[in-house]
Amino acid sequence: MATSAGAAAKLTSIPSLLKRNAREFGDSPASREKEFGIWQSWTWAQVAQQVEDLALGLLSIGVARGDHIAVIGRNRPHLYWSMVAAQSVGAVPVPLYQDAVGDEIAYVLGHCGAKYIIAGDQEQVDKVLEVEGQIDGLEHMIYLDGRGLRKYDHSRLTSYGALQEKGRAVKADLGAELESRTNALGYDDKCVMLYTSGTTGRPKGVVLSNRNIIETSKNSAEFDRLSVGEEVLAYLPMAWVGDFIFSIGQAYWSGFCVNCPESEETMMTDLREIGPTYYFAPPRVFETQLTNVMIRMEDASRLKQWMFRKAMDHARNVGPRLLDGEAVSALDRFRYFLGNLFVYGPLKNTLGFSRVRVGYTAGEAIGPEIFEFYRSLGINLKQLYGQTEASVFITQQKDNEVSADTVGTPTPGVELRISDTGEVFYRSPGAFVEYYKNPESTADTKDAEGWVATGDAGFIEAETGHLRIIDRAKDVGKIADGRLFAPKYIENKLKFFPNILEAVVFGANREKCTAFINIDLTAVGNWAERNNIAYGSYQELAGHDRVLDTIQAHVEEVNASIAEDEMLSGCQIHRFLVLHKELDADDGELTRTRKVRRRIIEEKFSDLIAALYDGSSSVSTVTEVTYEDGRKGSISATLKIRDAAVGAATDRMAAQ
Amino acid sequence: MKDSIDSHVTADGRTIGGVLMEMRDITLRFGGVVAIKGISFDIREGEIRAIIGPNGAGKSSMLNVISGFYHPQEGDVFFRGEKRPTMRPYEVARMGIARTFQNIALFEGMSVLDNIMTGRLTHMNSGILSQALWWGRAQKEETANREVIEKVIDFLEIQSIRKTPVGRLPYGLKKRVELGRALAAEPKLLLLDEPMAGMNVEEKEDMSRFILDVNDEFGTTIALIEHDMGVVMDLSDRVVVMDYGKKIGDGTPDEVRNNQQVIDAYLGVAHD
């Protein structure tokens, strides 16, 4: 960003960035939202006015420095402005997940002691009112969409518009106070507090300072050369650190426009209309889009199918090389040009990716085929590795150093270290200040020198210098002969097959690795239908010999790929079985976010695990299940156990 | 609830005004069949008025009388205190009465947006020629109408199907679109013929919320026919009960629930 040193010195808070943007890019769009079928936009100058009105309104109801202001609702420009307005008066915004249930909200509100809440609509207001008894100190609530709220008691409830109105009225009295509070904001003041989703225990409030957010935004924006002309779509939860960095941090630093969709359901249409130049999505989104494309191609005419296949084969060969700037023959370039004219171009347009200059995915492993598909279309999709505590960025891939199984090199300003146990540590300007009201956890995670433990195990690839994440550090173990055991890494490889929904790999402190597999009913059912295989239930399909053959082929393919990896070659799967029921959060086998709960599965299916290791070829079992309405029942089944071929790198052959 | 009361405020803060529409001794015959036999009742401004009764009781006929589609042989309809002359349906629509149908009556091949736009017909004044050329007044008018429609779309939360042809929508959404078309006319009185028929519990809950919100936000008076007793008792301020073309009960949901004649009609006793 081209700013003089004098001006840069004062850019120590988001409100100060807003002032600069209003001054320097006053007429360029800052926020856009589709409402009533039309994209409504606000320039930076208008946003600055909106924020000022609201900030004065907040002052008029008595918001003090350091107060926490919770913000809850779907992505809307007004809610983003309200976070900046909160900062302008010296308060700290605390965005919450809009789909959080009452109890979760009650915990967070109670923990941060929020006195004020800015809620999107009636649904959010209702949730807060429902738990009002459990929290104290709540003084006032502000709502954006007044529908259905007309009859509510308005003694402690004000509409967003009315508060801004009030703000405008008191400008003469409180304008100076606002000015002084905004100007007092320094680099070390709190910028935002974000609650981690908390896979283990209660959510923790991660405090990020202006330094964290602004330094990180600056470094990462420079890394990808983000400019005032970028367009992004804000559709991921506002409580997630990524959204805060993309839609506030980087947007205010670079001055680009943040677009909010009309509703959750219209996201894909809005994406197409906006055509973002900078885009982030978790692997799941890319996966769903690809599946939709494939399903629609199956229904297309023969000619179109042929064109698609031809073009995609060529793209797979040439596309990634073109992106990486490698040498490609003139003929291949010409064929790619034709493919782009007839297939890639229209396809990218349909997906809303025509203009994507930088795309990121992160959060979990992405299947190499999915990754390659988008890259071969010419979409510059990259991976990054980050977490809330780091203000997102730890490592990211450079434009021409992209691969499906690494997460890139450290973001500028980040130092990386791998501990003796294999855990990844980092130190960066983005590293968080503390966990709010939780000094013990803070001390456990961040040491005196500023090194932060990620909780992930990984290593740096010797030849490329890229970081590769293997698994959560606490899940990584050793098999009996001392070789590394990283279950999630193997499970992810298995889950990349559309036929496999879930996999659980065992092997810690055992002689060899074995696995439970869950088939994906949609994919396998579809296959069964096309192959005239009749089945009456999930259980019957899961036990079908031809299904087992297919799964065995998948397992062996995974084994072959792991065998090449010297660190993890011990993790090859020797024996497996296909479970007779889907692992389910209702039965406690998965968390609500669909993560495998290893310990519970190990206990519950101990008989099956025993059978995997005693060499028997089948096992009978009875399993308790919980139906959706809470009733319990049980299913009994006889499961076949299969041996899978393992690669040469392991010296021990499969049992029997 | 007595007729002498001119207006009052309900427990949840809505204002129920004076009589908007009054049916006086309505009798409707189809040849020798008497569908409605000397029924009188009124609809007050701002209330939700339900008409219930077993199959064949004459409920839909009654709604068609209110909407001006059927002309009763005997009796009069008073609108805001004045006797309503025999009118054509479009004239009734101009008076501010809109309705939905028991069996959905939408244009299947047209998009949701266009379907709802047809509800604005009574608010359009430009001629065919200027509309075809989309010129001058027609252009301005369409923009203004589109704004109203977009508010309806936003209100009913159907943004994602704005451009979808109605024929491709599931039943529950079609019902919602039909309600949208009726709302687009900005009616004073909204007639709903079995708005929840064939819906699952979740769809019913959604529809109930929309009906309450319409009444609450726009102050629209609503007369509805519904079979689901739970819904009727929860939604309505007053209920008319019909059986074999006669009125057998009229009052608040509680009064009606304890009316012996109503209980008999629903549980079934031998009729003479």
CB contact under 8 A, A36 and B162: no
pLDDT of residue A654 exceeding 60, the answer is no
Contacts (Cβ under 8 Å, ≥6 apart) of A56: A166, A167, A168, A170, A171, A174, A175, A178
CATH number of the domain that A129 lies in? 3.40.50.12780
Indicate if A379 and A434 belong to the same structural domain.
Answer: yes
Query: pLDDT band for position A373 (50/70/90)?
Result: very high
Indicate if A233 and A290 belong to the same structural domain.
Answer: no
Query: pLDDT band for position A648 (50/70/90)?
Result: low
Span A298-333, pLDDT tens digits? 788 999 999 999 999 999 989 888 888 888 899 999
Integer angstrom CA distances of residue B208 from A155, A352, B201, B241, B256 = 28, 36, 10, 20, 20
Instruction: Check residue A245 and report its DSSP letter.
Output: I
CB contact under 8 A, B160 and A269: yes
Out of A257-271, A520-534, A590-604, B197-211, pick the least confident.
A590-604
> Looking at A453, A471, A489, which one is the last position of a domain?
A471
pLDDT of residue B116 exceeding 70, the answer is yes
pLDDT of residue A9 exceeding 60, the answer is no
**For A151, which residue in chain B has the nearest alpha carbon?**
B13
> Looking at A471, A487, A518, which one is the last position of a domain?
A471
Indicate if A331 and A435 belong to the same structural domain.
Answer: yes
Averaged pLDDT for residues B163-187: 93
Indicate if A610 and A510 belong to the same structural domain.
Answer: yes
> Of residues B132 and B23, which shows the higher confidence score?
B23
Residue at A272 is within a domain: no
pLDDT of residue A2 exceeding 60, the answer is no
CA distance A485 to A476: 6
For residue A404, give its domain range: 280-471
Instruction: Check residue A492 and report its DSSP letter.
Output: H
| Candidates B112, B156, B160, B173, partner chain A, best to mutate (most A CBs within 10 A) | B160
pLDDT of residue A467 exceeding 60, the answer is yes
- On whether any CB of chain B is under 8 Å from the CB of A262, the answer is yes
Do A72 and A98 touch, CB atoms closer than 8 A?
Answer: yes
CB contact under 8 A, B216 and A37: no
Query: pLDDT band for position A63 (50/70/90)?
Result: very high
Integer angstrom CA distances of residue A274 from A79, A225, A349, B150 = 20, 20, 11, 20
CATH superfamily of B1-96+187-272: P-loop containing nucleotide triphosphate hydrolases (3.40.50.300)
Query: pLDDT band for position A635 (50/70/90)?
Result: confident
Residue at A252 is within a domain: yes
Q: Tell me, what's the pLDDT at A605?
A: 93
Query: pLDDT band for position A246 (50/70/90)?
Result: very high
Span A542-599, pLDDT tens digits? 999 999 999 999 999 999 988 888 778 888 999 999 999 988 877 878 776 677 888 8
Span A64-103, pLDDT tens digits? 999 999 999 999 999 999 999 999 999 999 999 988 888 8
Indicate if A484 and A528 belong to the same structural domain.
Answer: yes
Averaged pLDDT for residues B190-208: 90
Identify which of A163-172, A563-572, B91-100, B245-254 has the greatest average pLDDT: A163-172
> Looking at A440, A471, A502, which one is the last position of a domain?
A471
CB contact under 8 A, A265 and B160: yes
Query: pLDDT band for position B182 (50/70/90)?
Result: very high
Of A150, A151, A263, the CB nearest to B159: A263
Indicate if A141 and A78 belong to the same structural domain.
Answer: yes
Contacts of B157 in chain A (CB under 8 A): 263
pLDDT of residue A651 exceeding 90, the answer is no
Do A483 and A472 touch, CB atoms closer than 8 A?
Answer: no
**For A35, which residue in chain B has the nearest alpha carbon?**
B154
Phi, psi angles (nearest 5°) of residue B39 = -95, 140
How many domains is chain A built from?
3
Do A435 and A442 touch, CB atoms closer than 8 A?
Answer: yes
- On whether any CB of chain B is under 8 Å from the CB of A606, the answer is no
- On whether any CB of chain B is under 8 Å from the CB of A38, the answer is yes
Contacts of A147 in chain B (CB under 8 A): 155, 213, 217
Q: Tell me, what's the pLDDT at A117?
A: 96
CATH number of the domain that A571 lies in? 3.30.300.30
Percent of chain B with pLDDT strictly greater than 90 = 45
Averaged pLDDT for residues B43-57: 90
Q: Tell me, what's the pLDDT at A561?
A: 87
Give residue limits of the domains in chain B: 1-96+187-272, 110-181
Query: pLDDT band for position B90 (50/70/90)?
Result: confident
Indicate if A314 and A455 belong to the same structural domain.
Answer: yes
Indicate if A488 and A464 belong to the same structural domain.
Answer: no
- Identify which of B39, B40, B41, B44 has the alpha carbon closest to the alpha carbon of residue B5: B44
Of A148, A265, A266, the CB nearest to B213: A148
Residue at A650 is within a domain: no
Q: Tell me, what's the pLDDT at A462?
A: 86
B residues 131-170 closer than 8 Å to A (CB): 146-147, 150-151, 153-155, 157, 159-160, 162
Indicate if A482 and A627 belong to the same structural domain.
Answer: yes
Q: Tell me, what's the pLDDT at B1?
A: 40
| Candidates A33, A36, A40, partner chain B, best to mutate (most B CBs within 10 A) | A36
CA distance A132 to chain B (A): 21
CB contact under 8 A, A37 and B162: yes
Contacts of B150 in chain A (CB under 8 A): 36-38
